[in-house]
Amino acid sequence: MSQALIKRGFEQAKRLLLIQAILIVAIASLGLLKNYQVALALLSGGIAVYIANLYFVYKVFSKSGAQASKQVVRAFYLGETLKIVISVSLLVVAFILLPGFEMFVLVGYISALLLQWLTPVMVKTH
């Protein structure tokens, strides 16, 4: 029973990640209306969130089962901590590589965070 729930949760997470990726690319595409550097900055901000989310999903679903409950909790906390570290690191890299476009990087980042929070509400996940 628990394996079925874990599999269903993992499938939902993958689906939400796919939707988030599509929406991040769509938002970045809007930046092309201004120029390619704005689009790249928007995409960079979104990718900072997306890659961190990919790591988190991988880490959380790497442990499963009732006998591994302490490992699951540990994986969750480690995954969340490293998710933040990855996200901040990628933002710093984007700021360094795209000077003058920091605002657009932040807009992409915040947009991706909002998508992360709103996608499960807007899309039926069960």
In the numeric block, which tokens belong to residue 119? 């996608």
Contact 63, 20 (CB under 8 A): no
Which of the listed ranges 4-8, 35-39, 80-84 does the model predict with the highest average pLDDT? 35-39
Q: What percent of the chain has pLDDT over 70?
A: 90
pLDDT at 67 over 80: no
Average pLDDT of the chain is 87
Q: Are 76 and 63 in contact (CB under 8 A)?
A: no
pLDDT band at 1 (very low <50, low <70, confident <90, very high): very low
Mean pLDDT of 75-80: 85
CB 98 within 8 A of CB 40: yes
Using CA atoms, how far residue 123 sits from 3, 4, 38, 40, 115, in Å, is 24, 21, 28, 27, 11
